[in-house]
Amino acid sequence: MVLSALTPDKRLSEILQQVKRFPSEQARITQAYKATGKPHEEIQEHRNEWVKLIADHPDCGVKKLRKLNSGGRIYAWLYRNDYPWLMQHCPKKETSSVAIRDVDYPGWDKENVSILTSIYKDLFQAKGRQRLTASYLIQQLPRTNSVQKHLVDLPLTKQWLDVHSETLENYQMFRLKSAYQALLEQNQTIKRWKLIRAANIREELVTERIEKQIIALEMLEGLRQK
């Protein structure tokens, strides 16, 4: 009845619920006090500052809050002296301001295919080039990381990559032909072992198709010398 008289605007059930929360809050402060030796008032003061900082900057994540004038100081103090409470009272991870529904995936998809198509010939014919894997081709696009992450939303891009990505065998065939041209320029005889070494192909990776290509190049050399 005394409590009701002191707080006439609240029902008795609400007052009792509020009272029940007092010991638990006090226990948390006491626990922090025992762990760090800091006074109760100092702990509560820093907690209040942190809560107010979050309330004043609702769009900020922890990183941005720490960059504010007093944010770094408050965070560091709580981190050292009241870590469990701090971890329970950090804002949720920041999310991108651009909603997924606002991304023009069809337009982005067509743009990727257009770029890849325009640069593919030069990439393929480049002397001493590396293997044209899907990952390498994606790296030639703007927003590389986003393309990799949203490839499922870019069907035309994925289809283009599936068709044009270079298999290991195809890349070795390319290196074999490049090795042949290099040996000719050096006026060397065309031998199987020279081709394999110049093309940097391990013996265990020589497939039937590659073997046939080696034989064809050796025969071509024989015809050239006649």
Tell me the pTM: 0.52
Quote the number of domains for the chain. Answer: 3
Q: What average pLDDT does the chain have?
A: 82
56 pLDDT band, cuts 50/70/90, is: confident
Beta strands (DSSP E) in 18-170 are: none
pLDDT digits (tens, 9 = 90+) for 65-79: 888 878 888 888 888
> Is residue 112 in a domain?
yes
The greatest distance separating any two alpha carbons of the chain, rounded to the nearest whole angstrom, comes to 118
> Is residue 96 in a domain?
no
Q: How far apart are CA 215 and CA 208, in angstroms?
A: 11
CA quadruple 49, 51, 52, 57: dihedral sign: positive
**Pair (158, 176) in one structural domain:** no
Predicted local distance difference test score (pLDDT) of residue 68: 83
Range of the domain at 177: 169-225
If you ran DSSP here, which 8-state letter would residue 190 be given? -
Q: Of 30, 61, 88, which residue constitutes the final position of a domain?
A: 88
> Is residue 97 in a domain?
no
**Pair (116, 45) in one structural domain:** no
**Pair (137, 71) in one structural domain:** no
**Pair (110, 55) in one structural domain:** no
